[in-house]
Amino acid sequence: MVRLYGQAQTRRELCRRAGSTRQFAGVQLMTLGNGVEHGIRCLEFRSGTGFCFQVLVDRGMDIGRMDYRGAAIGWHSPTGFRHPGLHEPTGDNGLGFLRSFSGLMLTCGLDHILFPLTDDASHFGYDHRATSFHPLHGRVAFTPALLTGYGEQWNGDECTLWCEGVVTQAVVFGEHLKLFRRIEVKVGESQLTLVDRVVNRGFKRTPHMYLYHINVGYPVLDEGSIFLAPIRETIWASHEAKLQDQGVGYRSQPGPLVHFHEQVFEHAIEADADHKVPVGLINERLGLGFFVEFDRREFPHLFQWQNFQEGLYALGIEPSTNHVLGKLYAREQGQLRWLDHGEGCSYTTRIGVVDGSEALRALRERIESICRQPAADYPSITGNWSLAPPGLEE
């Protein structure tokens, strides 16, 4: 049954009321047509509940805009959803990511995440490419996808909106990685499911690192919004030496601030009996929240990004395959994942909206039942790197 407008209805009952499902829900392919976004193919999803989001096909099939009943959920930066043809990943000394950084979700990888790095590439066996430069968060986020399908699918009286595509990251005498992505949402629900598989199609052993940069903006993020996660302890902070200098802790979020410098935490996390890790940002004043649920066997690590400078106001939820210390640390500790030909890693993640005081309370109680997070806004930074699981499960 599809639950819409306060009642559960069969497919037949819905069809009696409209000549097409698109009257109240659907997925539609369109092309953005102006400014720096000109030429980007996108898929607009509407689930019928007021939950709406855009999949940017030509930006790694990532999620740009997300709205719920007229309220913005995803973050929009001044860059806009810049066309990949304008993107220069190695520009600004490898920080070119920041000139295209906008939207609810950007995928980071497929062989590198975090800050720019010149790394050994000798495993590819090409003398003239003994090293390789990796820009901030890798290359995949601004690579156009091959769109392989989209539409609506009925299974009895249940309707699923879906899309699928493939993003290829490849270079001659280097990596050949493919991201196979499926995004789906059920009509009548306000959450999506993201299913990814990253596969090495090359014939050389290749490293794999992966991270979702999920960015929530105003009005879910506002003064007094609360960050919720099953945190055992906080093992790292980018600003540890000056933890309280900006007056912003990890748990209770402020409004926009003058001269704020970004802050990042890495939290050691617990999971439920099914290995799921729910993380949320809730605004009790509005009765509105946002959640991400991932599998700790796939993403053992969680970063929290606070970007509260005026005009750039956002909070990032970042499940990651690796510690925030990056690729060199991962290699030294034997935690860097390598994929041989045909090998892959799979990821299944849920992202959605929490509506109403009862739903907010249920999310809080679920997270607290897994692990009660530190109550203090300024938790002790333990540096206990051994707490987090060392790697991925196949």
DSSP 47-70: -SSSEEEEEETTTTTEEEEEEETT
Contacts by 327-332 with C-beta closer than 8 Å and gap 24+?
A: 327/112, 327/113, 327/114, 327/117, 327/119, 327/134, 327/207, 327/209, 328/117, 328/119, 330/209
Contact 379, 237 (CB under 8 A): no
Extended strands (E) in 229-295: 231-237, 263-269, 276-283, 288-295
CA atoms of 323 and 202, how far apart (whole Å): 26
- Report the pLDDT averaged over residues 359-366: 98
DSSP 283-330: ETTTTEEEEEEEETTT--EEEEEEE-BTT--EEEEEEESS-TTHHHHH
For tokens 């497919």, what's the residue?
A: 11
CA atoms of 131 and 118, how far apart (whole Å): 7
CA atoms of 229 and 207, how far apart (whole Å): 29
For tokens 């990056």, what's the residue?
A: 326
**pLDDT value, residue 386:** 82
Contact 137, 97 (CB under 8 A): yes
Mean residue pLDDT across the chain: 96
Model pLDDT for residues 203-234, shown as the tens digit of each residue: 999 999 999 999 999 999 999 999 999 999 99
Q: What's the topology of domain 2-387? A: Beta-galactosidase; Chain A, domain 5 (2.70.98)
Model pLDDT for residues 95-153, shown as the tens digit of each residue: 999 999 999 999 999 999 999 999 999 999 999 999 999 999 999 999 999 999 999 99
**pLDDT value, residue 389:** 60
| pLDDT value at 393 more than 90 | no
